[in-house]
């Protein structure tokens, strides 16, 4: 019997990279690598921060599992390089990746199609006065959230409780990105919804209700502590989970995502209305990560999830046989 790993050829697990999420990416990549190897896949680690991308073709890799997070991995740049080399890869393509990592652009797409997302003000580093920054709570209310437009894992995110905290929050976000997103704070339940598949075949996995200490679901509590509670099956009122899954699927398809992803949602405590926060096109695959947790709730093991994602590796523009090749 042919081992399931044989069909994939030589596989590179892209991990590490140059982003602020390098440490998390190395953990994700190590998990994926071990899972694929345990199922007989000829998988190897590949860190784009240490080797040029052209080495992938030179070393004969047939496809890539992208376990990179953040910039230079989740933003369309690596995807574009793989498109040029004709090496299929996991997750979303160039356009969807570059849109989804930009929280402001994602909001524009969702808002244009009538999907609910918190109100926001976009600032550009060095282009607004301290006086203007202090007026933003007048528009968005307090508390509010300030974050870099293109970072993940809650890096550079601040919850602003008063006018006097605005400038420090903007400065912290500006240290990580030239664009700073100031966002209306939605008080209520935080949930996340993983999606696997593409187009009409995409399906939402069970919601996870995230209950963090004092609501602080930050970088530390995401990856390095066990104090955050993850409720799956979630404990939402009847009908809410199905409605949010349908909303998330629509949001995922609007961005043109494929392969897999995860979308975070806040539910207003007073109205129970859901608000889309952001999309992740290369979610974490660490021991604390949410997509494997949601998959497990449906009976899909970590190893099977990795194989399923690898099997769906694709290109935006698959190479077509040329006339010369067929001559």
Give me the active site residues, please. 21, 153, 223, 262, 264, 278, 280, 284
H or E element that contains 173: helix 166-174
* Total number of residues shown for the chain: 327
DSSP assignments along 79-98, one per residue: HHHHHHHT--BSS--HHHHH
What are 194's strand-pairing partners?
Answer: 262
DSSP assignments along 253-285, one per residue: HHTT--SEEEEEEEEETTT--EEEEEEESS---
Burial environment of residue 110 by CB neighbours within 10 A (0 to 12, 13 to 18, 19 or more) = buried
Q: Phi and psi dihedrals of 251, rounded to 5?
A: -65, -40
Are 180 and 170 in contact, with CB atoms under 8 Å apart? yes
Q: Phi and psi dihedrals of 193, rounded to 5?
A: -130, 120
Q: 324 in helix, strand or coil? A: helix
What are 183's strand-pairing partners?
Answer: 120, 145
H or E element that contains 180: strand 179-184
Q: State both tokens at 252.
A: 């995922």
Q: How far does Cα 256 stand from its chain's mean position?
A: 14
Q: State both tokens at 70.
A: 């953040």
Q: Phi and psi dihedrals of 30, rounded to 5?
A: -65, -40
């Amino acid at each position: 019997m042919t081992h399931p790993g044989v069909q994939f050829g030589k596989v590179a697990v892209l991990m590490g990279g140059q982003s602020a999420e390098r440490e998390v990416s190395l953990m994700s990549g190590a998990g994926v690598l071990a899972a694929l190897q345990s199922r007989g896949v000829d998988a190897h680690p590949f860190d784009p921060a240490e080797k040029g991308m052209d080495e992938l073709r030179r070393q004969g890799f047939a496809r890539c599992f992208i376990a990179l997070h953040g910039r230079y991995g989740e933003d369309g740049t690596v995807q574009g390089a793989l498109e040029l080399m004709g090496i299929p890869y996991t997750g979303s393509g160039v356009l969807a990746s570059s849109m989804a990592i930009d929280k402001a652009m994602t909001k524009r797409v969702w808002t244009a199609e009538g999907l609910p997302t918190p109100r926001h003000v976009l600032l550009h580093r060095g282009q607004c006065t301290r006086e203007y920054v202090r007026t933003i709570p007048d528009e968005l209310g307090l508390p509010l959230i300030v974050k870099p437009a293109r970072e993940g894992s809650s890096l550079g995110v601040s919850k602003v409780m008063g006018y006097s905290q605005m400038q420090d929050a903007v400065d912290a976000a500006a240290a990580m990105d030239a664009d700073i997103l100031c966002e209306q704070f939605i008080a209520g339940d935080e949930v996340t919804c993983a999606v696997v598949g593409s187009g009409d075949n995409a399906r939402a996995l069970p919601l996870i209700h995230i209950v963090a200490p004092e609501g602080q679901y930050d970088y530390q509590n995401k990856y390095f502590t066990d104090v955050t509670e993850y409720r799956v099956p979630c404990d939402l009122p009847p009908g809410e989970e199905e409605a949010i899954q349908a909303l998330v699927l629509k949001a995922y398809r609007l961005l043109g995502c494929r392969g897999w992803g995860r979308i975070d949602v806040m539910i207003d405590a007073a109205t129970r209305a859901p608000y889309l926060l952001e999309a992740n096109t290369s979610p974490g695959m660490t021991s604390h990560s949410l997509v494997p947790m949601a998959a497990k709730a449906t009976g899909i093991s970590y190893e099977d999830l990795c194989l399923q994602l690898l099997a769906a590796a694709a290109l935006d523009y698959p190479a077509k046989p040329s006339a010369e090749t067929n001559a």
